[in-house]
């Protein structure tokens, strides 16, 4: 039998507003209609817009990041119906390839304004900034972060099956309780994004269903039991993901493609975000959820990764003692923040700005690890940066470093 041509199951149009495209949606809800049907064993291509649905341009200003409308995100492709799947089954997604659109060989990584999205280091870097990354086959480089070039570990940030109504109700209840609790103790800032009717897009739904989805649909920002916005950089080419199924027909959605990302997706828009095409093959494990006692997805990484020798990572350590000297108890969040800040302070010596390095941390294939979580009172985390991504020698040496970088990333017009 000759192999069949690979068809495109989901079309995404780069030149049309995302909210007018019926094969895309931006909320999680069981009632969003299937956008297409893919048989188990079939290989298909799925086209995806970037997570913002094209709100960010290839230019030298970060104004589009500062004013990006976060009620519109994330535009996902699907839900894909997989005949034969029932609740309790596991959907196996093999990622065979991920590529940018040939007509759009670029992506972006950005720091969001503290008052619009924020990010891991927003108390240190509160203003919007952006870097455009140009793709050259497997490599990328940026006019906004000069002096580096590296291969991408290309992957989707988001992949999941539709939640059941019961699961959706549970998410909405527990997240509302969290918001109420933090309001009661006076926490500043947003702790969770509850359903928001503004700019909800329910794909091909009719008006009545679209209204329900807008009212109840879970936002796509956090990862949850079904997978979702996990931002795992190793879900790349050749990987296999095992996703729990909650609805008849599964309803797989994919989106938020990344050309490359560091562990932790540190700046919130913390990867090289791109529009592109993902090639997948689906399979079903009947009753897999109970048989494998699954609560959350599992995966097997692909065999294709940028390969830097194990001793070519300059690795920074951080502890759960914050920058004010306050001791925290085994707090991994504090420790990883300190680890990232160590990296930034070290590389500023070469002339980079803090914003450029915050963006580089999010874009390059840096390895974040949990070193120790038992040695009270300090958690210890590490962050390894492949030194060979730099075009100059960055290893520690006596006498300090020469300043080699003299330009900045894209900033807002107000600055």
Binding residues for Zn ion, per CB under 5 A? Answer: 51, 157, 256, 271, 273
Pick between residue 216 and residue 273 the one whose CB is nearest to Zn ion: 273
**CA separation for the pair 91, 41 (Å, rounded):** 11
Give min distance, CB of 273 to Zn ion, in A: 5
- Write down the H helix ranges in 67-197: 165-184
Pick between residue 146 and residue 368 the one whose CB is nearest to Zn ion: 368
Distance separating the N- and C-terminal Cα atoms of the chain:
62
Give min distance, CB of 73 to Zn ion, in A: 9
Bridge partner list, 255: 76, 158
Pick between residue 157 and residue 251 the one whose CB is nearest to Zn ion: 157
Give min distance, CB of 193 to Zn ion, in A: 15
- Residue 202 and residue 79 in contact, taking contact as beta carbons nearer than 8 Å: no
Give min distance, CB of 262 to Zn ion, in A: 12
Tokens of 330: 């085994």
Give min distance, CB of 50 to Zn ion, in A: 8
Pick between residue 267 and residue 320 the one whose CB is nearest to Zn ion: 267
* Segment holding 47, helix H or strand E: strand 43-48
Pick between residue 218 and residue 271 the one whose CB is nearest to Zn ion: 271
Give min distance, CB of 35 to Zn ion, in A: 20
Pick between residue 81 and residue 113 the one whose CB is nearest to Zn ion: 113
**CA separation for the pair 376, 272 (Å, rounded):** 36
Q: Which residues contact 388 (CB under 8 A, 6 or more apart)?
A: 308, 312
Q: Using DSSP, how many helices (H) and how many strands (E) does the chain show?
A: 6, 22
Q: Which residues contact 313 (CB under 8 A, 6 or more apart)?
A: 367, 384, 385, 386, 387
Give min distance, CB of 180 to Zn ion, in A: 29
Pick between residue 30 and residue 117 the one whose CB is nearest to Zn ion: 117
Q: Which residues contact 250 (CB under 8 A, 6 or more apart)?
A: 79, 80, 81, 82, 85, 89, 91, 161, 162
- Write down the H helix ranges in 102-256: 165-184, 207-216
Tokens of 41: 């064993």
**CA separation for the pair 362, 269 (Å, rounded):** 8
DSSP letter at 113 equals P
The strand pair at 36-37 and 76-81 is best described as parallel
Pick between residue 117 and residue 157 the one whose CB is nearest to Zn ion: 157
Give min distance, CB of 157 to Zn ion, in A: 4
Give min distance, CB of 213 to Zn ion, in A: 22
The strand pair at 227-229 and 223-224 is best described as antiparallel
**CA separation for the pair 87, 167 (Å, rounded):** 12
The C-alpha angle with vertex 242 and arms to 79 and 196, in degrees rounded to 5, equals 40
- Residue 66 and residue 28 in contact, taking contact as beta carbons nearer than 8 Å: no
Give min distance, CB of 75 to Zn ion, in A: 11
Pick between residue 51 and residue 336 the one whose CB is nearest to Zn ion: 51
Pick between residue 259 and residue 299 the one whose CB is nearest to Zn ion: 259
Give min distance, CB of 305 to Zn ion, in A: 19
**CA separation for the pair 210, 160 (Å, rounded):** 20
Pick between residue 205 and residue 366 the one whose CB is nearest to Zn ion: 366
């Amino acid at each position: 039998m000759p192999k069949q041509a690979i068809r495109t199951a989901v079309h995404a149009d780069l030149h049309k507003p995302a909210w007018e495209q019926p094969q895309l949606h931006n909320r999680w809800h069981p009632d969003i209609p299937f956008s297409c049907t893919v048989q188990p064993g079939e290989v298909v291509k799925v086209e995806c817009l970037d997570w913002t649905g094209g709100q960010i341009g290839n230019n030298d200003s970060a104004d589009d990041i500062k004013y990006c409308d976060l009620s519109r995100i994330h535009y996902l492709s699907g839900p894909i119906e997989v005949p034969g799947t029932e609740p309790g089954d596991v959907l196996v997604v093999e990622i065979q390839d991920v590529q940018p659109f040939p007509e759009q060989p670029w992506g972006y990584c950005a720091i969001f304004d503290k008052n619009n999205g924020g990010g891991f280091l927003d108390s240190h870097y509160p203003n919007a900034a952006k870097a455009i990354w140009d793709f050259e086959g497997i490599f990328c480089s940026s006019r906004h972060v000069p002096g580096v070039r590296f291969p991408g570990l290309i992957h989707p940030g988001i992949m999941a099956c539709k939640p059941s109504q019961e699961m959706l109700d549970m998410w909405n209840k527990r997240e509302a309780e969290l918001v109420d609790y933090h309001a009661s103790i006076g926490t500043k800032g947003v702790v969770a994004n509850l359903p928001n009717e503004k700019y909800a897009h329910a794909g091909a739904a009719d008006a009545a269903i679209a209204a329900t989805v807008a009212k109840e649909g879970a936002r796509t920002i956090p990862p949850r039991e079904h997978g979702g916005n996990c931002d795992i950089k190793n879900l790349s080419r050749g990987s296999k993901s095992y996703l729990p199924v909650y609805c008849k027909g599964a309803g797989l959605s994919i989106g938020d493609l990344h050309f490359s990302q560091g562990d932790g997706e540190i700046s919130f828009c913390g990867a090289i975000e791109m529009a592109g095409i993902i090639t997948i093959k689906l399979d079903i494990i009947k009753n897999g959820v109970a048989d494998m006692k699954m609560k959350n997805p599992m995966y097997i990484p692909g065999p294709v990764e940028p390969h830097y020798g194990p001793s070519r990572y300059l690795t920074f350590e951080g502890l759960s003692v914050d920058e004010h000297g306050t001791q925290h108890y085994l707090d991994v969040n504090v420790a990883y923040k300190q680890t990232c800040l160590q990296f930034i302070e070290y590389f500023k010596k070469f002339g980079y700005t803090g914003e450029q390095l915050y963006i580089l941390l999010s874009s390059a294939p840096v390895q974040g690890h949990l070193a120790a979580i038992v040695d009270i009172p300090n958690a210890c985390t590490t962050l390894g940066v492949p030194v060979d991504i730099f075009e100059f020698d960055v290893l520690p040496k006596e006498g300090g470093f020469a300043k080699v970088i003299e330009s900045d990333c894209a900033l807002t017009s107000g600055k």
